[in-house]
Structure 1
Amino acid sequence: MTTTSHDILPAELEDLVKLFDVTPTDSPTPDDEREAALAAPRFGTVFTDHMARITWRKDTGWIDRRIEKYGPLLLDPATAVLHYAQEIFEGMKAYKHADGSVWTFRPAANAARFARSAHRLALPPLSVDDFVGSIAALVRTDLPWVPGGEDSSLYLRPFMFASEAFLGVRPATEVEYLCIASPVGPYFAGGVKPVSIWVSQDYHRAGPGGTGDAKCGGNYAASLLPQTEAQENGCDQVCFLDSATNSFLEELGGMNVFVVTDDGAVHTPELTGSILEGVTRSSILQLAADHGREVVERRIPLAEVVDGLASGKVREIFACGTAAVVTPIGRLAGGTFDHTVGDGEPGELTMAIRTELTDIQYGRVEDRHGWLRRLA
């Protein structure tokens, strides 16, 4: 496997940042409050002082690139997104390295996925230059907000929504793009721990021809009731099956899934159009191949995994995504089965991949694929 064209970098970063007019907040967070927030960051609950923003209109295209004060959005009750859910988002992180520099991971790949999501939701595509430029401009403006603790980072949330005020089923002619940022600590505060997974056989996340491969809020809303079902059955997360046959693994509510067999091969569901093409997923496939592992993207029957757990053929299962990077799965349960994965502890390959990936992101090992992009 090789680095994809999605990792081609945009124009010179300095030129992109200059496109954004910066209006500093009139009420910056006091230094002591910011330091307290950075000392114990919680995912998605505290936000930096500014946000990036670009406006799109059908007759002008993308205009008014700016960094402005973080704050509430004023929306008309008829704003299209509130009625027709025409919106998309991304998730990525900025990492502080030992020398104080700040980097992000494969931003062009996120930008490419953002454009694909926009196309599926009939939203205007945002260029890679604008996407990366907005992130860099925001990070530089709020640089003191980038935490420096071990496995801490600044979580970045670019998103786009239909902002036109109208009632009618058609693509909006006015759209807003924003990026906000939140300092976060290690996803596993007490160390990496295996999670338990409930396989939903009554609900589906997406279907053929739907929005499963777009990163839009509707997919996540569809996962919330099954997630509640998983918790009612003593599990942490839910895993979905394909809607056509109700028999093949697809993905978790917000993460891709991998299966490691006793011959050392690494298997993951192939991209069928109803599965999100994760940036972390593709990175793991590359790293596994780098280490001589057989990498298999295919349709994976649930029955095969359940039988493999019983026989020992399936040795490890893990999930991956931006927030938790790599999450070991220690238990897989459903209506007619309940199996411990391996010995219930994080698998050897699972942890090796997680360590290598985070070491690359934090600059502790060589970035041999050129995945990192310096922001500040």
Structure 2
Amino acid sequence: MSSDLIEALTALEKDKGISKEVLLDALEAALISAYKRNFDQAQNVRVAINEGLGQIKVYARKEVAEAVEDKNLQISLEQAKSLNAHYQIGDTVEIEVTPRNFGRIAAQTAKQVVTQRVREAERGVIYSEFIDRADDIMTGIVQRIDHRFIYVDLGRVEALLPQSEQMPNETYHPHDRIKVYLTKVEDAKKGPMITVSRTHPGLLKRLFELEVPEIYDGTVEVKSISREAGDRSKIAVHAEDPAVDAVGACVGQKGARVQTIVDELKGEKIDIVRWSEDPVIYVANALSPSKVIKVLVHEEEKATTVIVPDYQLSLAIGKRGQNARLAAKLTGWKIDIKSESEAEELGLFDEESASESPETGIEDQAAEESAEIETDKSPDNEQD
């Protein structure tokens, strides 16, 4: 073997990040297999590679035995002492058995095995790289599409975008560049299997981290997200520093920051609301863009009754109940919406809220503490 092979292994280590020791181990295993196959040998052998000289030597390993039963695996004490007087019964003797033309045959035979080991090692490197990227966002290129998956090229690996994780308002074409959220990284036999999503709420959070520096550096915290991908989402944000406008930071100047995210999600409407530890304020904010007159809190059931003006009932509930459903997911509270006239009939204005937070001024505060971003101004707030 020439030193060129050692140089090639060194280059592979630099280019692909695969340890040369791993490659040498694979090469030794391949050469042992080549020796036994090509020279019809069943004996126990060891291959030694001299990196400096680029030389390969094969040694037969035999146990010193009192009575030799298998010449391929054993050697008599007398023969062993002829090699070295210090050998005793049970010792292992190594005898060089390198064939004259072994280098050429071994190189040909080992090529496929080494290539396979390199692929396996490279898959391990890729898996280690991507397992740390789980729950992160990446930009990929659509490669091909079938009835089950969209195959997205992430650079060193191809990820799977299942139909269930595709946005219903999007049409995908080969060579499209899309941002995806890594939901699962598995170490499969054929290499890392990565599943990505366009519908996961985590995608929305990562997009805001990319576009809003205050979220990325922790000044503004994303408290909760509820999402019906491709249609509408709600995101609750909070800043510990009262001088920081959490909602304004997410919206950006003239809505520039959130509009970038809306464009990435192909027009998905996004309601940005201010989080509050007070459920009265938080639930009222979450029902944005509708106005809220009063919120009655039932702590034991973790439920609320929300009273809205009669003309705002459809808006508060939303099309097919979407606004109320998203608000409930966002806050973690059950929400029962009543119109003002219905609440008067039921005597709800006489009930006291389980929270001691002020009930007056909810309309104004909720309006100030929330922002709705949408690109489609067509009415979608009628109750079905």
Same fold (TM over 0.5): no
Q: TM-score, normalised on structure 2?
A: 0.23
**Larger relative contact order, structure 1 or 2 (CA cutoff 8 Å, min sep 6):** 1
Structure holding more helix per residue: 2
Find the structure with the greater CA-based Rg: 2
TM-score w.r.t. structure 1 length?
A: 0.24
